[in-house]
Amino acid sequence: MGRDTGELLPGTFEMLILKALSLGTMHGWGIAERIERLSGGACAVQQGAVYPVLQRLLRRGWVVAEWRATENHRRARYYRVTASGKRQLESEVEWWRRTIGGVDRVLRSAAQEA
Amino acid sequence: MSWFDALRQRAADLLGRARDRDLDEEIAHHLDLETARQVSRGCDPVTARARAIARFGDTRRITDATRDERGGQPLEGGMQDLRWAARSLRKSPGFTALALFTLTLGIGATTVAFTVLDSVLLKPLPYRDADRLVLVREQTTNQALLPPSYPNFVSWRENARSFDGVASAMMPSSQTVWPSAADGDPLRVPTMGVSRRFFAILGARPVLGREFSDDENAVGGPRAAMVSYEFWQTQMGGRTPLGSVRLGDTPTPVVGVMPPNFRFISVADVYFPHEQMPGTVRSSHNYLVVARLAPGVALESARAEMAALSKSLLATFGNATQAANTDIRLLRDYLVADYRTMLSIVFGAAGLVLLIACTNLTSALLARGRAREREIVVRAALGASRARLMRQLVLESSLLVVCGSVMAMLLAAGALHIIGALGANLIPRLNELALDARVFAFVASTAVATVLVVGVYPAFRLAHRDPGVALRGGRGAAMTVRAPVWRLLVGFEIALAVVLLIGSTLLIRTLHNILTADTGFDAHGIVTAAITPREGDGDRLEEIRSELSALPGASGAAFTSRLPLSWGNMSAPVRRTTDPGDHDWPAMAGFRIISPDYFAVLRQPVLRGRAFSAADRDGAALVAVITPGIAEKLWPGQDPIGKTIGTNFLYGKWMTVVGVVAEASSWTMPKGSQNEIYVPLGQNPNKSEGQIVAVIRTTGDPNALIPAVRTRLRQLDPSSAAQLGTMDDRIERSAADRKFAMLALTAFGVIALLLAGVGIYGVIWYIVTTRTHDIGVRMALGATGQVVQAGILRDATLMAAGGIGVGIVGGVLATHYIQATLYGVSRLDPKTYAIGAAIALCTALLGAYIPARHSSRIDPMVAIRGE
């Protein structure tokens, strides 16, 4: 798992998608594009990967989907985060901060001891 | 999004295929958007497209991964397979129709048989804790069972500790009742006398009012009656307060109404407290005694206690009681004892039909599997797992079985409606027929078993084909017809059908023999009319008799206390003057009080001595006429005329035998050894005999005379209602249980035959189709169509012959179980077996004929060229 392939820690992709959706209802491409743009290209995954994850989120009830017409009058599937999805996002963010903070402290102390 | 779109969306979501299309559309849209972005960054459209695809990743893998996420819903795969199964069944309507037809008949027949069996034998009686209720009867030293007498019943009630209550009811009898105390017409309805707490002990509560109080159920108590729900509704107009009815001319307050469909052994419309009647004797056997076992008391310990009690009663009362012991059995066993065999036969027959249906379906599925082999193999080669293939194939047969079961239930509901209507009065508890949860459970388990039997093996075979062999072999692979399997299956079906045919033919002949059996009198052309004469009205009876015999179309009339072939006849011991007073009297005999010309009207031959005359009346010497069996038992080798005889029905009285009359079927058809002692009505020996039946000999159709008899009786006694019928009906009814079994077995036999015929047709058709190429070659080499056809028919005959052989052996074994039911025909009757074999062979040839004929018309050129 190298940084240059843009792959992510396990579980973080779900969190990123939920976060992207919490900013506003979006279709699949929009989600991928939003994550890529907001991460400044650091989290540029293969775009297609959002679809299996979206399917999983749908099944868990964290997002809902509906077909709508786009501004170009095409049919597109829009995803929206649900209330339980928002709660999930909060807990994941909380978990993320704790983990990253912990990892970070470990890294710092290791530097001091060395 | 409009509600319509939403609806459409919801519907589309149910279909995975639509979801796949949605995903494709979503991805296409995604790629378009990404391409557009790349173009806006300055790419040319082709490069932009390529970049978009590259950035998206492997489309196929993503689609699969997404579908996998979706597949996490367990139903999804199943739904897909179910759709596949439904589609594949729709594609072969011929097969589907045949399979459904087979299943509907098979499961339907079994469902009907189970429902009848269940409501008659298995379901608890409609009383509270019915399995704790027992019927108690007296048992004489020679093991004869007698209905208890009232004093014995009271002794039991007072002394037995094993019971939580002992109650009695009188044998049901019909009486004249006026539904309104004031006016209106009388009716003749079945009535039943009941003891104290009778209903409470049964665990049946009146829906309205109360049960008789102990005061009412005591000698000299106030008059009271209870009525059935049906009587209350139809005759009393459902009135409240209940008011009074007139029972035997006396206004009687109605104190309670029993729930709908309540019955104890037989239907009664009016109940009265029989413990009001004084002066009952220990040797008068008139009661049904029912007891509830006390909690924790086993049947065996109750038997032991009652045996000891009987012994002490016998010691105290001596020959006043015949009860040397008591017989105690579960009420349910008593009620259905006569029908257990019949119903088991019917159920067994239904099981055979289901087996045939399963066989048919199995061979049809196997044949269909052959035809679809390549389809399956191609799918397996494309990556469908064996488990998945098997699941789909089993699902396909499950779908068939479920549809078949639903249709079978509809069929069963119709059939049960008819059976209920026909048999409710003939077989106990048939009025309780219903398709209830138990039946549904039965059908469900039958269906599951059917799927396991018919679905799994063909599916297993199909799914485990070696794809290489089947694909390379092409049509050639299908040529390796596993004919032995089908030959066995079809032979098996025919064998089962032959067994059923033999059984039903035996029962048809039995029924015919019974209905035409010698009754000992001329039963045809007799009208019967049960009436209740007022007490001490002897002269009036003679007037009624002469009026009835003078009716146009009547040639004679007489009276009897009980008709021949009537249920509830009792027999009691008879003795000579030399027999000691206590027990061990030498013979048992029924008892009838008759008017002088009874034997002449019934044409029951007097063998020795004389019949009664008008001179045999009060004050003259007491006389009796007996059947030869009694004479043989009491005075072997001697002339019985002039001997003195006593019967327990007239305890302490002695009569002189003046005649011997031929035995008549006094209880059931066919007559067994039914000893009878007759005494003249003119001597009026038993004042308590409330009901008397007129028998009227007609010159034409007895049914035509019934209205005239009714009218004349009404004119003669406006205060009484008569119950009319014909002797022919009575004979029909006496064979009702056998008739029921016969009809059921015949119906199942016909269904079995039909299924076997369809089975043969299917298999021969299949063999002909798979051999088209062969046949074409043979015909090109000079075989004529007739030769080919004859060959196929010979094949079918061989198959049938094998099945018939096995069926005959099966018949020899299976008829063992119906032996006791047969009458006048041996279970190994060769003619019956020949008939069964012939019918089966004809059906087999008929089934084979159509495909054989088709084979003779095959065009060799087309057959050889065609794949």
Give the model confidence (pLDDT) of B339-364 as tens digits: 777 778 788 888 888 888 888 887 77
Distances in Å between the Cα of B476 and the Cα atoms of A25, B374, B469, B852 are: 60, 11, 10, 22
Count of beta carbons in the 10 Å neighbourhood of residue B41: 9
* Mean pLDDT, residues B421-430 taken together: 67
Calpha distance B324→B161 (Å, rounded):
19
The one-letter code for the residue type at B159 is N
Within 13 Å, how many C-alpha atoms sit on residue B830's CB side? 0
Most confident option among B526-540, B784-798, B824-838: B824-838
* Mean pLDDT, residues B694-703 taken together: 91
Most confident option among A57-61, B434-438, B575-579, B621-625: B621-625
Residue B53 has pLDDT above 80, yes or no: yes
Calpha distance A2→A9 (Å, rounded):
11
Residue B673 is predicted with a pLDDT of 57
Contact A56 B27 (CB under 8 A): no
Q: Do you know the residue count of chain B? A: 867
Residue B526 has pLDDT above 80, yes or no: yes
Contact B70 A55 (CB under 8 A): yes
Q: Return the residue in A55, A56, A66, A75 with the most chain B beta carbons within 10 A, the one to mutate for interface testing.
A: A55
Distance from CA of A43 to the nearest CA of B (A): 13
Q: Return the residue in A7, A31, A43, A47 with the most chain B beta carbons within 10 A, the one to mutate for interface testing.
A: A47
Distances in Å between the Cα of B13 and the Cα atoms of B19, B70, B466, B742 are: 6, 11, 37, 55
Dihedral (Cα; B501, B504, B506, B510), 10-degree rounding: -160
The mean pLDDT value of chain B amounts to: 81
Chain A residues touching B32 at Cβ < 8 A: 74
**What is the share, in percent, of chain B residues with pLDDT greater than 70?**
84
CA angle B596, B600, B604 (to 5 degrees): 110
Q: Do you know the residue count of chain A? A: 114
Q: State the CATH number of the domain containing residue A69.
A: 1.10.10.10
Calpha distance B178→B191 (Å, rounded):
13
Q: Are strands A63-69 and B623-626 parallel, antiparallel or unpaired?
A: unpaired
Q: Is B107 exposed, middle or buried (0-12, 13-18, 19+ CB in 10 A)?
A: buried
Beta-bridge mates of residue B252: B245
**Cβ contacts of residue B702 below 8 Å, gap of 6+?**
B524, B525, B526, B527, B726, B727, B728
Contact B1 A49 (CB under 8 A): no
Chain B residues touching A28 at Cβ < 8 A: 26, 29-30
Q: Per CB distance under 8 Å, which residues of B are interface residues toward A?
A: 1, 5, 9, 22-23, 25-27, 29-30, 32-34, 37, 55-59, 62, 65-66, 68-70, 72-73
* Mean pLDDT, residues B704-714 taken together: 89
**Cβ contacts of residue B345 below 8 Å, gap of 6+?**
B503, B741, B744, B745, B817, B818, B821
Beta-bridge mates of residue B193: B272
Coil/strand/helix, residue B229: helix
Contact B70 A51 (CB under 8 A): no
The one-letter code for the residue type at B104 is T
Calpha distance B136→B302 (Å, rounded):
10
Distances in Å between the Cα of B92 and the Cα atoms of A14, B89, B379, B454, B475 are: 47, 5, 19, 18, 20
Sign of torsion over alpha carbons A96, A101, A102, A103: positive
From A81-95, B87-101, B317-331, B638-652, the region with the lowest mean pLDDT:
B317-331
Structural domain total, chain A: 1
Calpha distance B211→B347 (Å, rounded):
40
Query: B660 near B640, Cβ under 8 Å?
Result: yes
Element containing residue B53 per DSSP (H, E): helix B45-56
Which chain B residue's Cα is nearest to A31? Answer: B30
Residue B473 is predicted with a pLDDT of 45
Write the DSSP symbol of residue B264.
Answer: B
Spatial CA neighbour of B199 closest among B292, B135, B306, B94:
B292
Contact A66 B56 (CB under 8 A): no
Distance from CA of A108 to the nearest CA of B (A): 36
| A4 compared with B173, residue with greater pLDDT | B173
Distance from CA of B65 to the nearest CA of A (A): 6
**Cβ contacts of residue B302 below 8 Å, gap of 6+?**
B134, B160, B162, B163, B291, B293, B328
Residue B338 has pLDDT above 60, yes or no: yes
pLDDT tens, residue by residue, B529-558: 988 776 556 677 888 888 899 999 899 999
Q: Are strands B623-626 and B526-531 parallel, antiparallel or unpaired?
A: unpaired
Residue B60 is predicted with a pLDDT of 75
Residue A62's domain spans which residues? 3-113
Whole-model pTM over 0.90: no
Beta-bridge mates of residue B692: B531
Residue B534 is predicted with a pLDDT of 64
Write the DSSP symbol of residue B581.
Answer: S
Q: Return the residue in B27, B40, B59, B66 with the most chain A beta carbons within 10 A, the one to mutate for interface testing.
A: B66
Taking phi first (over 0 means left), then psi (-120 to 50 degrees means alpha), and beta for anything else, what does residue B651 get?
Answer: beta
Residue B734 has pLDDT above 60, yes or no: yes
Alpha-helical segments (H) within B205-317? 229-234, 299-317
Calpha distance B455→B434 (Å, rounded):
30
pLDDT range class, residue B401, cuts 50, 70, 90 = confident
Element containing residue B479 per DSSP (H, E): helix B475-479
Coil/strand/helix, residue B625: strand
The one-letter code for the residue type at B423 is G
Distance from CA of B388 to the nearest CA of A (A): 23
Beta-bridge mates of residue B694: B529, B559
From B172-186, B467-481, B584-598, the region with the lowest mean pLDDT:
B467-481
Calpha distance A64→B529 (Å, rounded):
82
Q: Return the residue in A37, A66, A67 with the most chain B beta carbons within 10 A, the one to mutate for interface testing.
A: A67
Q: Is B782 exposed, middle or buried (0-12, 13-18, 19+ CB in 10 A)?
A: exposed
Residue B527 has pLDDT above 90, yes or no: yes
Counted across chains A and B, CB pairs separated by less than 8 A come out at 65
Residue B464 is predicted with a pLDDT of 67
Within 13 Å, how many C-alpha atoms sit on residue B36's CB side? 10
Calpha distance B623→B395 (Å, rounded):
80
**What is the share, in percent, of chain B residues with pLDDT greater than 90?**
18
Sign of torsion over alpha carbons B5, B7, B13, B14: negative
Distance from CA of A51 to the nearest CA of B (A): 6
Residue B345 is predicted with a pLDDT of 79
Which chain B residue's Cα is nearest to A68? Answer: B1
Contact A48 B22 (CB under 8 A): no
Distances in Å between the Cα of B109 and the Cα atoms of B102, B422, B455 are: 11, 17, 20
Spatial CA neighbour of B655 closest among B609, B701, B711, B710:
B609
| B436 compared with B804, residue with greater pLDDT | B804
CA angle B470, B472, B477 (to 5 degrees): 45
Residue B747 is predicted with a pLDDT of 84
Contact A47 B55 (CB under 8 A): yes
Calpha distance B845→B849 (Å, rounded):
6
Which chain A residue's Cα is nearest to B67? Answer: A52
pLDDT range class, residue B659, cuts 50, 70, 90 = very high
Chain A residues touching B58 at Cβ < 8 A: 48
Element containing residue B850 per DSSP (H, E): helix B830-856
The mean pLDDT value of chain A amounts to: 81
Chain A residues touching B68 at Cβ < 8 A: 52
Q: Out of A32, A52, A76, whose CB is closest to B66?
A: A52
Alpha carbon distance, N-terminus to C-terminus of chain B: 53
**Cβ contacts of residue A52 below 8 Å, gap of 6+?**
B62, B65, B66, B68, B69
Q: Out of B29, B65, B68, whose CB is closest to A76?
A: B29
3-state helix vs strand vs coil in chain A, percent to 5:
60, 15, 25
Coil/strand/helix, residue B327: strand
Query: B759 near B489, Cβ under 8 Å?
Result: yes
Q: Out of B22, B33, B65, whose CB is closest to A52?
A: B65
Q: Out of A29, A67, A74, whose CB is closest to B34?
A: A29
pLDDT range class, residue B681, cuts 50, 70, 90 = confident
Which chain B residue's Cα is nearest to A56? Answer: B69
Spatial CA neighbour of B274 closest among B197, B370, B356, B382:
B197
Beta strands (DSSP E) in B223-334 are: 225-227, 244-247, 250-257, 270-273, 287-293, 325-330
Query: B291 near B159, Cβ under 8 Å?
Result: no
Contact A47 B37 (CB under 8 A): no
Query: B494 near B799, Cβ under 8 Å?
Result: yes
Residue A3 is predicted with a pLDDT of 36
Contact A68 B1 (CB under 8 A): yes
Calpha distance B517→B506 (Å, rounded):
16
From A90-94, B490-494, B575-579, B836-840, the region with the lowest mean pLDDT:
B575-579
